[in-house]
Homo-oligomer: A and B are copies of this chain.
Amino acid sequence: MTGRTFASDNNSGVHPAVLEAIARANEGHVHAYGDDPYTQDAIAVLRRHFGDDAAIWFVFNGTGANVTALSSVMRPFNAVICADTAHINTDECGAPERFTGSKLIDLPSGDAKLTPEQVRGAVRGVGVEHHVQPRVLSLTQSTEYGTVYTPEELRALADTAHAEGLLVHVDGARISNAAAALGCTLAEITRDVGVDVLSLGGTKNGLLLGEAVVFFDPALAPDFAFVRKQSAQLASKMRFVSAQFSALFEDGLWLHNASHANAMAALLAREAAGLPGVVITQKVEANEVFARVPAEKIAALQAIADFYVWDERTAEVRWVTSWDTTQEDVRGFVAGMREVLGG
């Protein structure tokens, strides 16, 4: 094996073009904290995707993007509605509650996607001082189960949210994978369907480090610069974060990387589906494959290439592909699994 695993797209490296962009930005002195030409360029690049009036801010990581995005549009007595599987709900060690001071109202979901009916049902107690006041609907795209909201589904959710007085946040740590899966532009699954604020993922799709917060209406968060700084998410040598975004979003590298990761997941799902005892449990729409496997074989399978057990009780596992996963990685993994599982 190559050393590449199926544990997480966070385990992957940096795309060479991104490293080159960092090296190119390493020239002389520029102003710190984002007042530099590299950052201006990266913002211009992203505005070509998201619109000329989008307010775009770079932060360090996905949790940083989510908590600054959320806390900049909420008061502590507000609440966020999200799926129970949402990264903000389960994988950020309570950072959203800590930064916002607010409750997350988490709704059950078999496929990590929410429906307008669920959202409507979760908006309760409006105007009553005893109850938290829902303010944001947070959706993950692609979801934590590798599923994808269609533009129509997003539009319906956003319309519902807005009718209920909610803003729509998208945790887009893997939004490039969703766009690739749908054959959509990034705007078509965010701005155009009514999303208000986006956590735009970079790290999982080939960056060294870096995410962006995108407000489609800059009036939503006029004070975001202060929120970012006070949240310890402002990079001093900003050029080295922003130059990565230019590299990723300038010429389609984002789409190339995401499409490739998706294709590798599709290949893996297709090949693994035929293995004895393997049941694919979620639609494979982006770069994640969920499957039930024989519980007693899990350790042997992980010895081939590392991956996470999602739910020990059901022996459900998660396989994630990355921009740098190769066909050989997939075929080698499947071949190894076949040896372990028979068939």
Beta-carbon contacts under 8 Å, A114-138 to B: 129-133
- Whether the Cβ atoms of B229 and A93 lie closer than 8 Å is yes
A259 vs chain B, min Cβ distance (A): 20
Question: Quick check: A77 and B94 within 8 Å, CB to CB?
Answer: yes
Is there a chain B Cβ closer than 8 Å to A270's Cβ?
no
How many chain A residues touch the partner (CB < 8 A)?
76
Question: In the bound complex, do residue B208 and residue A237 qualify as a contact, i.e. CB atoms below 8 Å apart?
Answer: yes
Q: Are B93 and A132 interface neighbours, CB within 8 A?
A: yes
Contact with B along A234-274 (1 / 0, CB 8 A): 11110011000000000000000000000000000000000
Contact residues in B for A61 (Cβ distance below 8 Å): 60, 232, 234-236
Q: What residue of chain B has the Cβ atom nearest to residue A25's Cβ?
A: B13
One digit per residue, 1 when the CB lies within 8 angstroms of any chain B CB and 0 when it does not, for chain A 179-223 equals: 000000000000000000000000110001100000000000001
A226 close to chain B: CB less than 8 A? yes
A209 CB contacts on chain B under 8 angstroms = 209, 235-237, 240-241
Find chain B residues with CB under 8 A from A234 CB: 61, 63, 129
Interface status of A109 (Cβ within 8 A of chain B): no
A67 CB, min distance to chain B CBs, angstroms: 6
Inter-chain contact B22/A208, CB cutoff 8 Å: yes
Q: A300 interface residue, CB < 8 Å from B?
A: no
Bound CA–CA A95/B76 (angstroms): 9
Question: What is the bound-complex CA distance between A79 and B89, given in angstroms?
Answer: 12
Which of A10, A75, A94, A131 has its CB near the most chain B CB atoms (within 10 A)? A94
In the complex, what distance in Å separates the CA atom of A332 from the CA atom of B23? 27
Kindly specify which of A43-51, A97-105, A154-162, A281-289 makes contact with the partner chain.
A97-105
Nearest chain B residue, comparing its CB with the CB of A99: B232
Verify B101–A101 contact, CB threshold 8 A: yes
Q: Closest B residue to A100 by CB, please name it.
A: B97
Q: How many copies are assembled?
A: 4
Chain B residues with CB below 8 A from A240, complex form: 14, 208-209
* Given A76-B94, A94-B230, A12-B33 contact (CB < 8 Å): no
Which of A1-9, A143-151, A164-172, A333-341 forms part of the interface with chain B?
A: A1-9
Q: Please tell me if the beta carbons of B129 and A229 are within 8 angstroms of each other in the complex.
A: yes
A29 to chain B, nearest CB (A): 4
- Point out the residue from B32, B232, B324 that lies within 8 Å of A10, measured CB to CB: B32
In the assembled complex, the CB of A251 is this many whole angstroms from the nearest CB of chain B, namely: 21
Min CB distance A155 to B, Å, is 27
**Which of A2, A92, A103 has most chain B Cβ within 10 Å?**
A103
Most chain-B CB neighbours within 10 Å: which of A14, A61, A129?
A: A129
- Would you call A31 an interface residue if the criterion is a C-beta within 8 Å of the partner chain's C-beta atoms? yes
Which residues does chain B contribute within 8 Å of A29, judged by CB atoms? 3-5, 7, 11-13, 322, 324
Complex contact B129–A228 (CB within 8 A): yes
**Are A230 and B31 in contact, CB atoms less than 8 angstroms apart?**
no
Q: Would A7 and B31 be within 8 Å (CB), given that A129-B93, A129-B225, A228-B129 are in contact?
A: yes
| Beta-carbon contact of B28 and A230 below 8 Å | no
Q: Is B229's CB under 8 angstroms from A130's CB? A: yes
Docked pose: A77 CA to B227 CA in angstroms: 7
Closest to A325 in B: B29
